[in-house]
């Protein structure tokens, strides 16, 4: 009997697949325990610095001691303290105090748990948005390059997933890019409008700080402003309860959910086009499409995006429910829920962007297949041109319309019942009624004449909307993303 291999600890416990399989290291670090608790310590340091500057008896030595131990976190001690006190913030107050004995007495002075908890959440949300924005911009950039390259390539467009009129491959890519630009604008607005909770005390009244500063309201307000500035925010809430308004979480996850819908639409389109063999996502040399069918080239990346997008879209239900049941100044039934839904939403959005960027920078187009599929439908679309040409040649509009209707129905019936190619044009060519325009038929069904202003629209969109939006991201646009799985 074979001896089992040694199994590492990481394979014996559940880990969220968003962290273990899909999200980037940057986003995982942003929601890590180290980022969280080192930020708590930074916030305690900011508070002590501001309180000292405003006249409280805090020494330079205490400040220096705190500064030197921001990252010196004993996680084992913190876990023991939390098990003892059943309170995560107090556990870390004691753990920080253990390595800062001189400053222990002034750590968390006048603050409530939400001073570090909620303000840290806002910092992490802000930093998470900063990770996402350049990635969305990079996806737009890649789609813009794709659109420019294929702006004149005619293709079938679809309504109801039925052949409609002629568009171009580049124009369709601009439709995708436009939705992503909307998401980028929303993310930028979120980041711009995000406010710090600030230094508000237990229920937002700042009573503890008013007591510390012996009734000097101006100093309390200055304290709030100073810590907000140290944390890198331009504004803080004037009004709040114990927490920052949970409507903020609704706003953030609504924007992320909307982005999820964008990606789902784009990748669904790619999956459909792949089934038509018009377009394909990247496919590695050794990639296996199916364990049973060696010939398969499944759009695995696009399918992953649709799968994760559904997860992301569903996450917005959590903050909506949480915001609706925050009794009075707050309840604690938000805590466990937010520990899960906020990180998971950002990790999902990050994973979507990593995969989407890999897809759009490696899209493969098959012009001959696109042309063949277009030519099968183009004769039917040319009927209006044929009618106009016949009228100019002296024909009757209504009579011509009826002739074309009958020929089109005959051709369509054969295509459906016998599987034969479209012979609508040949029927017109052999029908003596249409003899006056037989020499013009080729020009009447030339694909490029049916695309309208598609090429102009692509040029205008790229110059008027895309270029200005991407200008502020120059230097941080990703050029390549390698997926591990």
pLDDT (0 to 100) of residue 379: 80
**139 touches 357 (CB < 8 A):** yes
Total Cβ atoms within 10 A of residue 432: 7
Lookup: tokens for 308: 């994760």
- For the domain bounded by 27-99, which CATH number is listed? 1.10.275.10
Can you say whether residue 290 is alpha, beta or left, with left for phi > 0 and alpha for psi between -120 and 50 degrees?
beta
Q: Which residues are 155's β-sheet partners?
A: 167
DSSP percent split of the chain into helix, strand, coil, nearest 5: 65, 5, 30
Residue 285: is its pLDDT beyond 60?
no
Distance (Å, whole) CA 41 – CA 89:
11
Query: Which of the residues are catalytic?
Result: 160, 290
Q: 293 CB contacts (<8 Å, ≥6 apart)?
A: none
Q: Look at residues 227, 210, 207 and name the one whose alpha carbon lies nearest to residue 219.
A: 210
What would the pLDDT profile of 155-183 be if each residue is shown by its tens digit? Answer: 999 999 888 888 999 999 999 999 999 99
What would the pLDDT profile of 114-150 be if each residue is shown by its tens digit? Answer: 999 999 999 999 999 999 999 999 999 999 999 999 9
Distance (Å, whole) CA 411 – CA 388:
21
Distance (Å, whole) CA 482 – CA 232:
33
**452 touches 152 (CB < 8 A):** no
Residue 164 parent element (H or E): strand 162-168
- Strand bridging mode 154-159 / 162-168: antiparallel
User: What average pLDDT score do residues 454-463 get?
Assistant: 96
Distance (Å, whole) CA 34 – CA 371:
55
CB neighbour class for 16 (10 Å; exposed up to 12, middle 13-18, buried from 19):
middle
Residue 470: is its pLDDT beyond 50?
yes
pLDDT (0 to 100) of residue 229: 96
Q: Look at residues 231, 118, 134 and name the one whose alpha carbon lies nearest to residue 183.
A: 134
**306 touches 356 (CB < 8 A):** no
Q: 101 CB contacts (<8 Å, ≥6 apart)?
A: 65
Q: Which residues are 279's β-sheet partners?
A: 365
- Strand bridging mode 162-168 / 279-280: unpaired
What would the pLDDT profile of 74-105 be if each residue is shown by its tens digit? Answer: 999 999 999 998 889 999 999 999 999 999 99
Distance (Å, whole) CA 344 – CA 332:
20
Residue 456 parent element (H or E): helix 454-461
CATH of 383-444, picked from 1.10.40, 3.40.50, 3.30.70, 1.25.40, is: 1.10.40
CATH 3.30.450.20 fits 113-282+298-366, yes or no: no
User: What average pLDDT score do residues 461-485 get?
Assistant: 86
Distance (Å, whole) CA 448 – CA 398:
27
First to last CA, the chain: 33
State whether the Cα torsion 418-421-424-428 is positive or negative.
Answer: negative
What would the pLDDT profile of 342-374 be if each residue is shown by its tens digit? Answer: 999 999 999 999 999 999 999 999 999 999 999
Domain boundaries, the chain: 27-99, 113-282+298-366, 383-444
pTM above 0.75, yes or no: yes
pLDDT (0 to 100) of residue 291: 46
Compute CA distances 252 → 198, 247, 317, whole Å.
19, 9, 12
Distance (Å, whole) CA 316 – CA 305:
18
């Amino acid at each position: 009997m074979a001896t089992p291999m040694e199994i590492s600890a990481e394979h014996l416990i559940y880990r969220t697949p968003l962290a273990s399989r899909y999200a980037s290291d940057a986003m995982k670090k942003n929601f890590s325990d180290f980022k969280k608790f080192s930020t708590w310590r930074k916030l305690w340091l900011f508070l002590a610095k501001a309180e000292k500057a405003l006249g409280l008896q805090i020494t330079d030595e205490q400040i220096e001691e705190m500064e030197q131990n921001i990252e010196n976190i004993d996680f084992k001690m913190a876990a023991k303290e939390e098990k003892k006190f059943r309170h995560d913030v107090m556990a870390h107050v004691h753990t920080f105090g253990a390595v800062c004995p001189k400053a222990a007495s002034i750590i968390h002075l006048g603050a409530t748990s939400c001073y570090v908890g909620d303000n840290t959440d806002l910092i992490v949300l802000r930093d998470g948005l900063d990770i996402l924005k350049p990635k969305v911009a990079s996806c737009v950039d890649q789609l813009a390059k794709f659109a420019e390259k294929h702006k004149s390539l005619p293709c079938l467009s679809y309504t109801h997933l039925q052949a409609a009129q002629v568009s171009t491959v580049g124009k369709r890519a601009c439709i995708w890019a436009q939705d992503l630009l909307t998401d980028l604008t929303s993310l930028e607005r979120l980041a711009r409008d995000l406010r710090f909770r600030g230094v508000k005390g237990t229920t937002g009244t700042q009573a503890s700080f008013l007591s510390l500063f012996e009734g000097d309201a101006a100093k309390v307000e200055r304290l709030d402003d100073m810590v907000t500035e140290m944390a890198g925010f331009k504004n803080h809430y004037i009004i709040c309860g114990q927490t920052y308004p949970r409507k903020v979480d609704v706003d953030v996850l609504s924007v992320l959910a909307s982005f999820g819908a964008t990606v789902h639409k784009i990748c669904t389109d790619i999956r459909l086009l792949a089934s038509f063999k018009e377009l394909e996502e990247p496919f590695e040399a050794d990639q296996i499409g199916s364990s049973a069918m060696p010939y398969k080239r499944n759009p695995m990346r696009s399918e992953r995006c649709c799968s994760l997008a559904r997860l992301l879209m569903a996450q917005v239900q959590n903050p909506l429910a949480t915001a609706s049941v925050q009794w009075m100044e707050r309840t604690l039934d938000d805590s466990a829920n937010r520990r899960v839904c906020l990180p998971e939403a950002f990790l999902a959005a990050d994973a979507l962007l990593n995969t989407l960027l890999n897809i759009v920078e490696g899209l493969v187009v098959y012009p001959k297949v696109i042309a063949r599929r277009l030519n099968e439908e183009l004769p039917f679309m040319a009927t209006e041109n044929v009618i106009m040409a016949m009228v100019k040649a002296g024909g009757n509009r209504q009579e011509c319309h009826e002739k074309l209707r009958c020929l089109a129905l005959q051709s369509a019936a054969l295509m459906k019942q016998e599987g034969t190619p479209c012979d609508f044009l040949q029927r017109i060519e052999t029908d003596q009624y249409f003899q006056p325009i037989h020499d013009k038929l080729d020009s009447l069904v030339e694909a490029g004449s049916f695309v309208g202003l598609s090429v102009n629209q692509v040029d205008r969109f790229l110059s008027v909307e895309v270029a200005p939006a991407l200008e502020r991201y120059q230097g941080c646009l990703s050029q390549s993303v390698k997926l591990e799985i």
